[in-house]
Amino acid sequence: MKIGFIGLGVMGAPMCKNLLKAGYEVTAFNRSFNANFESCVAAGARKGLSNADVAAHSDVVILMVPNSPNVEAAVFGPGGVAEGAKPGLDIIDMSSIAPLASKSIAERCEKAGIHMMDAPVSGGEPKAIDGTLSIMCGGPKELFDKYKEVLDVLGSSVVHCGDVNGAGNTVKLANQIIVALNIAACAEAFELAVMAGVDPQKVYEAIRGGLAGSTVMDAKVPMMMDRNFKPGFRIDLHIKDLNNALDTGHGLGTPMLLTSAVQEMMQWLHNNGCGSDDHSAILKYYERITGVEVKK
């Protein structure tokens, strides 16, 4: 099986390398020949010349780009996947985009003779590197079954969420809401503890094994205490996901009160120079108000 991989960012590059390690023949492409692109070529990927070139040399093309317009441009723009696609080409869009956009792009693909599945991921850079992402898939079950073995290389949890295109991205939005609110709750709680004079490390040790404990807490609270805001998942990308969640919720008539509140925190951080920080930097919103840092 020949795989194309488009989008070699923080997440895409290690995912591409894991496919190479698993023995797949990969043609890779990125809009710029950056260090990530270069490292994937060094690891054995064929250097794609364009999105169309990737499609021409692949049985299936994986997309890992920032947002809906980027997916549409990669597929249908000049030099796009659709231009180079052979009959029966499949697309696995692993980008996190709006569910309605995913559905619309899939419908256009079908008209062009291309089959598409949305398969957004969760887990950030560390899990992209070690191949333990959570992957949420939407689209025809036969397409999911066809590529389950490929997706197992990239994730430890690969779930078919529905036969409708966009189902995977709907689940991803639910995931991003829960992650954002969980990080904000941790930031608020640990700021409270430090202002009350309690060692945040002791707070973490005391509550992580109980009902308040979570994967998010274990991943993000140590980063907060270490003052390590190097991005595994940037504030700006989470803003994009929550914007998609809010737009979808508003369209469905679903109350989005908590999501709106955390989105305002993240937007404030973006406006104050923290957009490229990890989303654990929600803590900085509270620290700017209180003047008190959470640290070991």
- Active-site positions read 172
Nearest to 280 by CA among 261, 294, 264, 296: 294
Return all residues near 200 (Cβ < 8 A) that are at least 6 apart.
190, 193, 194, 221, 224, 225, 294, 295, 296
Q: SS3 of 235, please? A: helix
**Residue 268, SS3 per DSSP:** helix
CA dist 58 and 178 (Å) reads 36
Contact 114, 89 (CB under 8 A): yes
Burial of residue 180 (number of CB atoms within 10 Å: 0-12, 13-18, 19+): buried
